[in-house]
Amino acid sequence: MGTLGIFASRFNVNTKSLEAFDEALSFLKKKDEVARTPEVKANVDKLLDVLEPILENIQGNLSESTAVSERSVVDIMKERHDREWPIYRKKLKQLYSKLNSSKFKLSESDFRLLNDIADALDVECGNLFRRMSERR
Amino acid sequence: MKDYLKAIILEQIDRSLCLKNLIHPVKYQELSGLAERCTNIIDSITQKLRSLLAELENREEDDIRDILRKMRRRVREIEMVESYGISALYYVNDEIRYMNNLIHKIHNEINLPLSRPSVACISTRYYYFHPFTNVIFVPVGESNFLLHLPDVFHEMGHYVLFNKENTLRLKEVNRRYDVAIKKVTDYFKDLLTRKIRETGPEEKPRLIRHIHSQWKEYWINEFFCDLFALYTLGPAYAWSHLHLTIKKSEDLYKFSEVLPQTHPSDDSRMRILLIGLHKLGFDNEANMILSKWNSMPLVLNTKPLVEYQYAYPEELMKEVAELFLSGLKDGNFSIISPTNLQKQDSDSIITILNEAWDLFWNNPEEFRNWEEKCIEKLRSMIQRD
C-alpha cells in the first residue's frame, strides 16, 4: 500500500475518535451536575478513549489504544501551550480524575480544556489529510 | 464569525450537490456499487451540513469551536469523495470493466465477507486503497501484466482491516488484531522497563517509545495486509515483494530513530512473509525465495543501523503471524496451502498468479508470451462470466 492509504487509514481512525469526542462534548454541555447513568457513562467513555492514551503518553507510558495518534496530538498540545505546559499537564490529569469520579460537574475551564484537546486532534486530522494528498 | 461560518456551510452544500450531479450516468454497470456509495456519502454530508446550520443558529458567537471542527470535517469528506470516488467514476475506460470483474473473481476465490471493492485504473502512485470510498487504485497499465497483481490482495487486506469492527464474520480477525496490539505493547513495555533500569544512554527509552508507536500506528497494519495477501494467495505474494524490492527499494533496513516511517522495512516484511510461508507449509518456496533474496546486491552490501535490532524482534513477528493466521482461518477465509493450491481450478486467479511466478523463474524467455496469452484468455473468460 502506498503512503496515501496508510495516512488515509490513520486519518479515518483519528476522525472517528474526534467525531465521538465532539458528540460527547455536546451531550455533556447540556448537563449540569453529572451522575453516572448508562448514557452519561457511554459519553464519558468517548472522552476517555481520547484522553487516556494522551495521558499515558504524557506520563511516558506506552498505550495499547489505537483510537488516536497520541504522540502527535501531545506534540501539538505542547506546542500550543509551551509556556504553561507543566500546569497544563496537571490540569489534564485533574480532568481525567474528574471524569472518572462517580459524580462530577464540568466547569467552563474544563470545557475549554476539552475543546483544546479536540482542536489538537482536529489539527492532527488535518495533518494526516494533508499528508494523504501529498505526492511522495 | 457566525455569519461567515454559515456562508461556508452553504457553499459546501452547493459543492456537494454539484458533485452528486457528476455521478450519473454511470458509464459501466461494474461501477454502479461505487456510484451508490458516493451518492450515499454525499447525501450524508449534505444532511450533516444542514444540521450544522440549524445548530449554529442557536449558538453564541463565542461558542462555536466545535461547529468549526465539524465544518472542517465535512470539507475534508467532500474533498475525499471528489478525489477518490467521483474521479474514479468520471475518468473511465474499458480497462475498468476487466479490472473490476477480476477483483470480483478474487473476491469470490478468497471468500471475502464484504461487498466487493471497486477498482480505478488511474493511480499515479502504484497500488493503494482508499477506505472512504472503498476503491483500489492501480496504475493505468497494470491490467496488461501479472507479476505485481498480487498487490491487489494486499490492498484487500486493508479493506478487511477497515471493516473488522463492523462485520460479524471479521469478529475473530478483530479480536486477534487487538491481541496482537497488546503483545506488541507488552513486548515494548518490558523492553522499556529494562532499558530505563539500565544506566545506558537516555536516547534508548525514547527510541523504544518511537518504535512502539510505529508498530501500533502503521507497521502492524502493513504486516497484517502482507500476511493477508500471503495466506490467501500463497508464494506469489512473497515473490512480488522481492520483485518490487529489487526494483524500488532505497534501503532494505530503512530505519529512523526519530522520523515516522509508514512502512516497515523491506527486510522485515520479507522476514514476516517467510515466517508465514513456513506456517502454511511452503518450506521449499520459502527456501527458494530466501536464497534469491540473500543473493541480491542490496542484501550483500548493506548493513542495518545498530538500533535496527530493536525494531523487528523475531519472536514478536512469529506471534503476530500466528495470530493473524488464526484470525483469518476463524473468519472462514480461503487459506492457501501446498495441497489446496494444487486443487484450485486451472482458471482461478490464485493458480494463475502462482503459475506466473513459477514460469517467470523457470522460463523467463517465454514468460512474456505466456503472460500475454494468459491475460487474453482471462479477459475473454471474465467477460463471458
DSSP secondary structure, chain A, as one string = --HHHHHHHHHHHHHHHHHHHHHHHHHHHT-SEEE--HHHHHHHHHHHHHHHHHHHHHTT------SS-HHHHHHHHHHHTSTTHHHHHHHHHHHHHHHHSSEEE--HHHHHHHHHHHHHHHHHHHHHHHHHHS--
A1, A2, A64 member nearest B185 (Cβ): A64
**CA dist A32 to A29, A35, A68, A112, A118, Å?**
8, 10, 28, 16, 21
Alpha helices in chain B (DSSP H): 2-21, 32-57, 65-81, 87-90, 95-109, 151-163, 171-197, 203-214, 220-233, 235-248, 266-280, 283-294, 297-300, 314-330, 338-343, 349-362, 364-384
B192: exposed, middle or buried (C-beta count within 10 Å: 0-12, 13-18, 19+)?
Answer: buried
Would an 8 Å CB–CB cutoff place A30 in contact with chain B? no
pLDDT at B301: 84
Is B213 touching A (CB cutoff 8 A)? yes
Q: What are phi and psi of B325, to 5 degrees?
A: -65, -45
Q: Residue B238, SS3? A: helix
* Mode of pairing for the β-strands spanning B128-130 and B118-123: unpaired
Q: How far apart are CA B176 and CA B117, in angstroms?
A: 24
Kindly report the number of other CB atoms within 10 A of residue B331's CB atom: 22
pLDDT per 10-residue tile (average), chain B, 385 residues? 94 97 90 95 97 93 92 96 93 87 95 94 87 92 95 96 93 98 97 86 88 96 97 98 94 91 95 98 98 91 91 98 98 96 92 97 96 94 75
C-alpha cell at A106: 464540568
Q: Which of B192, B212, B221 sits opposite A9 (nearest CB)?
A: B221
Answer whether B181 sits within 8 Å of A62, measured CB to CB: no
For the stretch B298-313, what's the b/e string if a residue is b when 16 or more beta carbons lie within 10 angstroms of its beta carbon?
Answer: bbeeeebeebbebbbb
Neighbouring CB atoms inside 10 A of A112's CB total 11
Interface with chain B: mutation pick from A25, A46, A62, highest number of B CBs within 10 Å: A62
In chain B, residues with a C-beta closer than 8 Å to the C-beta of A9 are 131, 158, 161-162, 221
Instruction: With beta carbons less than 8 A apart as the criterion, state whether B125 and A4 touch.
Output: yes
Q: Do A25 and B66 touch (CB under 8 A)?
A: yes
Whether residue B152 contacts residue B161, with contact meaning beta carbons closer than 8 Å, is answered with no
- pLDDT tens digit string along B93-123? 888 889 999 999 999 999 999 999 999 988 8
| Cβ contact A12–B125 (<8 Å) | no
This prediction has a pTM of 0.93
Domain definitions of chain A by residue range? 3-133
Computed on alpha carbons and rounded to an integer, the radius of gyration of chain B in Å comes to 24
Residue of B56, B63, B71, B76 to mutate for A, most A C-beta atoms under 10 A: B76
pLDDT of residue B292: 96
Q: How far apart are the first and last CA of chain A?
A: 13
CA count, 13 A, side-chain hemisphere, B246 = 14
**Contact partners, residue A6, CB within 8 Å, separation at least 6:** B218, B221, B222, B262, B263
Whole-angstrom CA distances from B34 to B31, B156, B378 are: 5, 16, 24
Work out the average pLDDT over A65-75. Answer: 96
Could you tell me if B227 and B276 are in contact, meaning their C-beta atoms sit under 8 angstroms apart? yes
Contacts of B125 in chain A (CB under 8 A): 2-4, 135-136
Angle, in degrees to the nearest 10, between helices B235-248 and B151-163: 110
Residues of chain A contacting residue B66, judged by C-beta atoms under 8 Å apart: 22, 25-26, 115, 118
- Assigned C-alpha cell, B310: 530493536
Residue A90 has pLDDT above 60, yes or no: yes
Euclidean distance between CA atoms A38 and A98, whole angstroms: 17
B137 secondary structure, DSSP code: E
Interface of B with A in 274-313 (CB under 8 A): none
pLDDT of B260 reads: 85
Backbone angles phi, psi at B30, to 5 degrees: -60, -20
Cis peptide before B25 (omega within 30 of 0): yes
Is B221 within 8 Å of A6 (Cβ atoms)? yes
Looking at chain A from residue 5 to 24, which residues have their Cβ under 8 Å from any Cβ of chain B? 5-10, 12, 15, 18-19, 22
ipTM score? 0.90
Q: A108-133 and A38-58 helices cross at what angle (nearest 10)?
A: 70
CA distances, A42 to each of A38, A53, A122, B103 (Å): 6, 18, 22, 40
Cα dihedral B378/B379/B380/B382 (nearest 10): 80
Q: Between chains, do A122 and B181 touch, taking CB under 8 Å as contact? A: no
- Structure confidence at residue A38 (pLDDT): 86
- Rounded Cα distance between B241 and B150, Å, is 9
User: Is B217 within 8 Å of A63 when comparing Cβ atoms?
Assistant: no
Q: DSSP for B321-377?
A: HHHHHHHHHHTT-----HHHHHHS-TT-HHHHHHHHHHHHHH-HHHHHHHHHHHHHH
Identify the pLDDT of residue A136: 43
pLDDT mean across residues, chain B: 94
- Residue B217 is classified by DSSP as I
Return all residues near B193 (Cβ < 8 A) that are at least 6 apart. Answer: none
Residue A24: closest C-alpha in chain B: B66
Using a CB-CB cut-off of 8 Å, the residues of chain A touching B209 are 60, 62, 71
pLDDT at A2 over 80: no
User: Tell me, what's the pLDDT at A1?
Assistant: 53
Helix (H) or strand (E) holding B128: strand B128-130
- Cα angle B211-B215-B221, degrees, rounded to a multiple of 5: 160
Residue B62: its pLDDT value, please?
Answer: 86
Instruction: Confirm or reject contact between B158 and chain A (CB < 8 A).
Output: yes
In this structure, are residues B180 and B173 in contact, taking their beta carbons and an 8 Å threshold? no
For residues A5 and B183, the model is more confident at B183
